Structure 1
Amino acid sequence: MSATATQPETPTSGTPPRANPWPARLGRIALAVAAGLVLYLSFAPRPLWWLAPFAFAGLAVALHGRRFWSGLGVGFAFGLTFFLTHLRWIQDFLGDDFGAAPWLALSALMALFLALACGLMTLVATLPAAPVWMALVFLLHETVRGRFPINGFPWGRTAFSQPEGAYLPLAAIGGAPLVGFAVVVTGFGLGALVVRLAAHGGPRPRALAVPVLCALLPAGAGLALWPTIGTDAESGSRTVAIVQGNAPDAGLGLLGQTRTIRANHIAQTERLIADIRSGAVPKPDLVVWPETATDVRGDDPVIDRLVDELDTPALIGAKYRLPTGRTQNTVVAWEPGTGQDGRYAKQELVPFAEYVPLRSLARLFTPFVDDTGDMQEGTGPANLDVADTSVGVAICYEAAYDYVSREATAAGARLLTVPTNNAWYGPGEMSYQQLAMSRLRAVEHGRAVVVPATSGVSALVAPDGTVDRPTQLYTAATLVGTVPLREQTTLSDRLGAWTEYVLVGGALAALLTGIGLRLRTRRTRAGQAPQTATD
């Protein structure tokens, strides 16, 4: 038996040099940045909901063929671009006092979540029906950042880009998680289609089946569901008056404007009373004030008088001083001749605004820590019995959380309201972004939604998400209209959080499968020693 050793091949002078990888890398980053900008443009106040799938198509192309660490870079570029533009309104709130640091820090933190999601997507990108699994991983990241850290930050969820259009009816089936999943699947399907059409030698027709289905089926399902979205009154209707008293555009300066905001809402309510008496507007069944339009510390003879003169029940957004000295962000039910008759306190408080977590650390970054007391959170369900019906309440930031309105609807709410105080955030896009959330919630729960805002945008949202005569920003206004009361529960409400649990479970299963296949491939390669001897 003889053996001959094999020698490694040596490159010859004719071997072409390796291509420089940096132009391709920079091209992918540029594509990710462009995709992040397109996603931002799909959100309110622009009615460009249809841009969102194209943003994810661009992201899918940028991720094609990437491994974990490269995926992280692509995802961070995409996420940072989106959040820097989407959260620009933070500068209107904090810019003069804090500079750009809070805006940049929050955007970067959110982008890190998205970067990790894109890195993990590379682990499932080679599985059959990859656009589906990649979309599930993206929705997994939205679930995580909506809960962690410090109760999460669900602002900017993909579903909130869809207050109208083809995907919105899916909210009645699976809520915000299903809407977001449908948009992302469409985008990743389009991206896969582009990649396969551009493949060398052309694609096989069978290879296009899954991308085409992913690109077309979600929007088609949404369009097919539109006729099922009910808007008719099922248990009567209510004429509702929104009082928008207005507030100065002063950012953090509003901390010293509590009396001004209260006086503005009292004055606007008195104008409403005069209009009712003159017949200029119909007498409402319910009057609604925005979030924290006044302070309430025990009895309030002024609001007692206003409600008595209206001869109409009211929901008053107020900072409510408890006997313990703690303060809650509440909506108080006020009855003519009776006064205060129940209240709901906000459950999802805004970190660093309504309470300060990690005070010792926060003190290093803000001079306001020692002057800011922690509000006390409330408990659910968020329902108030007023105007002979049950009204569900989600105060401001709570519109971004699925469970608040879901629990209220499950407890019997026939109408929803989202009182808010967006005067802090200037004339930018924040108020419109939040109104888009209420429009999605209307379809998700099959309920009309009343949105009273301190300085706008106030609106009456129909159960199909349409808005009639929204108010303008930074104006005093009264909006009076009739809204239906509805009892039928949507499939989304009957399924509850299970839709999200199933989507998250699918993402975890896909990741485990992808990791397992990758480890098996590595073991297989490691076990194949090169042949070094011949008989």
Structure 2
Amino acid sequence: MVDTAGAPGGEPEAGTQPATTSTHPAIRPLWASLLTAVAAGVALLLSFPPYGQWWLAPAGVALLAAAIHGRRARAGAGLGFVTGVVLFMPMLSWTNLHTGYLPWTLLSVAEAGYLAAMGAAYAFAAPLADRRRALTPLLIATLWVAQEAARARTPFGGFPWAKLAFGQGEVPLLRWAVIGGAPLVTFMVALTGGLLATAVLTLLRRGVRTAPAVPVAWVAGAVAAAVAGTLVPTATPSGDTVTVAFVQGNVPRLGLDFNAQRLAVLDNHVRGTLALAERVAAGREKQPDLVVWPENASDVDPLRSRVAADQITRATEAIGVPILVGGVTGGSTDRTVRNIGVLWWPIGSGGGKTGPDLDQLYAKRHPVPFAEYIPMRTIARMVSKEVDRVSRDFEAGARPGVVDSGATVIGDVICFEIAYDDVVRDVVTGGAQIIAVQTNNATFNTAEAEQQLAMVQLRAVEHGRHALMASTVGVSAFVAPDGHVQDQTEFNTAAVVVRELTESTERTVATRLGYWPELLLTLLGLGLLAAAAVVRRRRTAA
């Protein structure tokens, strides 16, 4: 990483004086910036589950901005990349548990590349921030939103893991989700970090003795931004109540071979449902209106296997209510399959419905590349032979997962789809009164499951809905509309949990606005970059 001195934004050459037209000279040696970038990555990492030190997210943003400020774009890219690698390599380590180091490394490096681009953009725009110091926090915050917007969409549909918004748990900053969803939460976290960065940069430039009030004011602004979320009211559902149960059946063994004993996995979920039915019959548990099984609860095709269908019917007959079954079934061709959630009715239920209801079937709309389908399979095989475990590609479903169980309308979201803003919003605008996430974490670990649960927390606040996450192995939980986690289960255990939830048909501001907050904030960031280009051109001309 070389930051050639003497160019706009660089350090002056040895023995020369800084040019009077330079508005943002580097204010520390490059090695110090490198260490600061590493510290930024560590702080960001610790802000996410399983560590959960949410307050470190603004600190990480501030450290990265301080590391980059005053550098040329090339050095800014390098420093952003360092932060990204320090963040993503350990955070995504669960991806290498069963597929080897190379896929994990490639994914982490690809994700870090977006932080590199953001670092280059901030270094490029720093002259504008120096001229208008009040724009510094805004510049930092909008560039974070733009970076996350790009990462959520590219390549192959994107991978939006580690959005700043996904690490805010039950703290005030999360409440902004009810107004602007994940993009606004990210913006507020990064804005807080930008205010802290401005305080640090002011201290470095002017010194504590010469301008003590200025950095104190920026710090005060950061504190105000962090706690302002307490003034944002979360939604309170006011509809009817419905009793929902989830079954975490567990699997015979963790890893890629979790489904080698597919009938055993199905049997575990049937057994858990039968045990629940016994408790209900004995009066020890309230009768649920709906039971939710996780993704891959029946990897034996429930729509084609008589054995699987009989087992599921046995469970529905015992509990007496429909079960939302997570399963895998055939696709439109012999070479494809679908990851589905299908409502399964007990025999003789209301309306004469029996067995699988194909009108209430959701096929996953956003299959995971290189896990559920293999782009460029020949090239991918050179990276990892594990891709051949996906012998048939999962094809994407065509409609949102709005499932009417009679007692309530469930918004079905399968596994990683919870990370995608549009997938979740579509089920709410489609009429979902409760959000259900069917997931299978058997190939991962507790850290991945807790990171996913944090996303469910954000979605519950964003859309003002009770939500639940039902996993094969854990963690599973219910989440209230204020983001509070209830009845969280342990990892790699069997569990059945029943809870009464309140339905909601209201739409929050965030639900109504949809992608507009993200679009406007991204455009603002691009506008600031354009303004920075004008400043740089004028400075060069001078």
TM-score (normalizing by structure 1): 0.89
Moved more, 55-64 or 299-308: 299-308
Contact (CA 8 Å) 1:131, 1:188: kept in 2 or not?
A: yes
Q: Quickly say closer, same or farther: Cα 1:322–1:91, change in 2 above 3 A.
A: closer
Q: Shift of the alpha carbon at 1:164? A: 1.4
- Residues 306-346 of structure 1, C-alpha deviation per residue, up to 9 Å, x if partnerless? 11221111101111224744311010011222111120010
Unaligned runs of 5+ in 2: 1-13, 18-25, 348-353
Which of these residues, 222, 226, 229, is aligned with residue 219 of structure 1?
226
- Residues 125-176 of structure 1, C-alpha deviation per residue, up to 9 Å, x if partnerless? 2322112112211211111111111111101111101121020110000000
Contact (CA 8 Å) 1:75, 1:117: kept in 2 or not?
A: yes
Q: Shift of the alpha carbon at 1:123? A: 2.1
Paired residue for 1:173? 179
Contact (CA 8 Å) 2:303, 2:356: kept in 1 or not?
A: no
Supply the distance in 1 between the matched residues of 2:332 and 2:275 (Cα, whole angstroms).
33
Alignment pair present for 1:408 and 2:427: yes
Paired residue for 2:397? 378
Paired residue for 1:92? 97
- Residues 21-42 of structure 1, C-alpha deviation per residue, up to 9 Å, x if partnerless? 9992122111111111111111
Q: Shift of the alpha carbon at 1:212? A: 4.6
Supply the distance in 1 between the matched residues of 2:210 and 2:498 (Cα, whole angstroms).
58
Counterpart amino acid of 2:244? V
- Residues 229-278 of structure 1, C-alpha deviation per residue, up to 9 Å, x if partnerless? 133x4221111111100014432222523222112112212211222222
Paired residue for 1:61? 66
Contact (CA 8 Å) 1:384, 1:393: kept in 2 or not?
A: yes
Paired residue for 2:340? 330
Q: How does 1:491-506 map to 2 (within 5 A)?
A: 491-506=509-524
Alignment pair present for 1:440 and 2:445: no
TM-score (normalizing by structure 2): 0.88
Which of these residues, 502, 514, 528, is aligned with residue 510 of structure 1?
528
Which of these residues, 380, 392, 405, is aligned with residue 362 of structure 1?
380
Paired residue for 2:504? 486
Q: Shift of the alpha carbon at 1:353? A: 1.2
Counterpart amino acid of 1:397? F
Paired residue for 1:280? 284
Alignment pair present for 1:52 and 2:52: no
Supply the distance in 2 between the matched residues of 1:515 and 1:507 (Cα, whole angstroms).
13
CA-based RMSD: 2.2
- Residues 159-214 of structure 1, C-alpha deviation per residue, up to 9 Å, x if partnerless? 10112102011000000000001101111110110221233355557855983575
Paired residue for 1:118? 119
Alignment pair present for 1:396 and 2:412: no
- SS state of the match for residue 31, structure 2? helix
Q: Shift of the alpha carbon at 1:481? A: 1.0
Q: Shift of the alpha carbon at 1:381? A: 2.2
Contact (CA 8 Å) 1:249, 1:424: kept in 2 or not?
A: no
Paired residue for 2:264? 260
- SS state of the match for residue 343, structure 1? strand
Runs of 4+ aligned structure 1 residues displaced above 3 Å come to 15-18, 200-214, 322-326, 368-371
Counterpart amino acid of 1:410? T
In percent, how many aligned pairs have the same letter? 38
- SS state of the match for residue 125, structure 1? helix
Q: Shift of the alpha carbon at 1:522? A: 1.5
Alignment pair present for 1:154 and 2:184: no
- SS state of the match for residue 364, structure 1? helix
Q: How does 1:65-76 map to 2 (within 5 A)?
A: 65-76=70-81
Q: How does 1:2-151 map to 2 (within 5 A)?
A: 24-94=29-99, 98=100, 100-127=101-128, 128=132, 129-151=135-157
Q: How many residues align?
A: 501
Question: Which has the larger Rg?
Answer: 1
Q: Quickly say closer, same or farther: Cα 1:214–1:361, change in 2 above 3 A.
A: farther
Which of these residues, 461, 480, 491, is aligned with residue 462 of structure 1?
480
Contact (CA 8 Å) 2:365, 2:400: kept in 1 or not?
A: no
Supply the distance in 2 between the matched residues of 1:212 and 1:392 (Cα, whole angstroms).
41
